[in-house]
Structure 1
Amino acid sequence: MPLSHHDQVNLLKDILSNQQTDCCGSVAEYQQLERLIKSLMVNTNVDGNIKSILQDVYQYSQNGVNASDLEQHIQTNQGQLSQWVNDIGQFS
């Protein structure tokens, strides 16, 4: 059974929140973020306001996949992670 877009948004928020809190992540998590975002971007039921956030998170994910130091990548983006989690929470 596929995840609803609400479930996908909540999963996205959970991954970002965990990365922010734990200050660690994995390439697999970034790849999962990319898949979630691609699915949400084409879903017409997703609030248009969240799509600009999704584009930013997608860029963050791509940079994470290619980062040589994942912990540093997350630390560098702490402020953004916090903002994204809050913003996404308003739409989920």
Structure 2
Amino acid sequence: MPINHTHQIDILKDILSNHQLDCCGTVAECEQLERLIQSLLVNPNIEQSVKDVLTDVYTYSQTGKYTQQLENHITSHQNQLSNWISDIDQLS
């Protein structure tokens, strides 16, 4: 059974929150972010302002997936993670 966009956003926020709180993550989480965002970007029910944030998060996950030092990548994006979580909360 496919999950709806509300559940997808909740999962996205959970992963971002974990990255922010734990300052670590996995390549699999970056790949999951990418899949969620790809699905959300083509969803007509998602506002453009949310899509703008999702595009930034997608770039973060792409870069994170290919970096040799994922923890450093996450740590260097702490401010953005906080902002993205807040923005998604307000806009969703």
TM category (shorter chain) comes to over 0.9
Q: Who is 1:60 aligned against?
A: 60
Distance 1:7 1:91 in 2: 15
Deviations 1:15-63 (A, max 9, x none): 0011000001000000000000000000001111100000000000000
Distance 2:57 2:44 in 1: 19
Give unpaired runs (5+ residues) of structure 2.
none
State how 1:1-92 maps to structure 2 within 5 Å: 1-92=1-92
Deviations 1:46-87 (A, max 9, x none): 111100000000000000001111110001000000000000
Runs of 4+ in 1 over 6 A off after TM superposition: none
| Identity across the alignment (%) | 57
Give unpaired runs (5+ residues) of structure 1.
none
- What's the CA shift for 1:91? 2.3
TM-score normalised by L of structure 2: 0.97
TM-score normalised by L of structure 1: 0.97
RMSD over aligned Cα atoms: 0.6
Counterpart amino acid of residue 65 in structure 1: K
